[in-house]
Amino acid sequence: MSKQYKAINPVKYYKDYLSNNIRPDGRNFTKFRSIALNVDSISTADGSAIVKLGNTTVVCGIKAELCKPKAEEPDKGFLVPNVDLSPLSSSRFRPGPPSDQAQVFSRLVADIIIDTECIDLKKLCIHPDQLAWVLYCDIICLDYDGGVVDAAVIALVSALKTVKLPKVDFDEELFTVKCVDVENKELLEVHAVPVANTFVIFDDEQLIVDPTAEEEDLCNGSITVVIVDDHVRSVHKPGGVPISNINIEACIAETKKQAKYVVNLINTTFSENCKKMCKSSKDINISIEAYMK
């Protein structure tokens, strides 16, 4: 019966839940969904990570290529994030060129990474005006249930922390490129860990954190807050109803709390990943020693 009621009047159905200070998925207004993170997930990529935020799943794969720097920024490399809202992730998306929503998400993720100076683009430059690295960051949504930008930022930052680049040299006289050391690759330096959290306003007054896809559809407006090291770096408000200063301050306070959890999750994940790699390396050494005997 509840499914029919929801299909006939989804707004009234949602209001009935909110009137009891609860959401349809059982969370209160300020409770975030659980997050799962896995890094180095794609062996063929130069960096990768998978993030599961509630029922939303996002995978990020990074491919590094050589290119010529822009004429206006001859001493910088490139970072090109591309968010793909796959038709497999939700019935609302169709095959073909990127939708307007996907393009907005791509631009927002790029702005967040670049504005927060997550990585130094100058470090991607090999030789000014001649050679630089370009990082193609493909972010694919496998399951869509809201909060894609929040999950995409976590996935991209985590994937960037796994990127290893070979040492490359450029011969000015011959205009040739050569790899100095292919085996000993260097990890890309990640200087900041931005955390983005999206909030929505329902009925012009009720603030709801970490919305699902259904809540995003029913809301009157949304806002995304970006935090780095407990400091607000940007606030994105893509239209909708105005949000009061009180609600904006509440969004910032909740994001600061969540940012600590996300940063701790990333650090813990990489710590566990290092332990696994060390254990694997020891196992290899032991097997070699046993063979030599």
Report residue 176's pLDDT band, with 50, 70 and 90 as the boundaries.
low
Residue 273 CA to residue 79 CA, distance in Å, equals 25
pLDDT at res. 283: 37
- Give alpha helix (H) positions in the chain: 2-8, 10-18, 100-115, 148-160, 213-218, 245-292
Mean pLDDT throughout 176-197?
Answer: 81
> Can you read off the two tokens belonging to residue 171?
């011969």
Grouping H, G, I as helix, E, B as strand and the rest as coil, residue 132 is strand
Mean pLDDT throughout 266-288?
Answer: 57
Which of 45-49, 180-184, 231-235, 257-261 comes out lowest in average pLDDT? 180-184
Identify the residue with better confidence: 204 or 43. Answer: 43
Residue 213 CA to residue 199 CA, distance in Å, equals 12
Domain spans, the chain: 15-292
Query: Contact 80/103 with Cβ under 8 angstroms?
Result: no
Say whether pLDDT at 289 is over 50: no
CATH of 15-292, picked from 3.60.10.10, 3.30.230.70, 3.60.21.10, 3.40.630.30, is: 3.30.230.70
pLDDT at res. 281: 35
Say which residues have a Cβ less than 8 Å from residue 257's Cβ, sequence separation at least 6: none
Residue 170 CA to residue 101 CA, distance in Å, equals 40
Residue 245 CA to residue 250 CA, distance in Å, equals 9
Query: Contact 80/161 with Cβ under 8 angstroms?
Result: no
Strand ranges of the sheet holding 195-202, from the earlier edge strand across to the other edge:
206-209, 195-202, 221-228, 231-236
Mean pLDDT throughout 140-163?
Answer: 96
The residue whose two tokens read 């509840």 is: 2
> Can you read off the two tokens belonging to residue 107?
């631009």
Residue 39 CA to residue 254 CA, distance in Å, equals 26
Say whether pLDDT at 52 is over 70: yes
- 4 C-beta neighbours (distance < 10 Å), count: 8
What's the whole-model pTM score? Answer: 0.88
Of 109, 54, 56, give the one whose Cα is nearest residue 79: 109
Identify the residue with better confidence: 113 or 178. Answer: 113
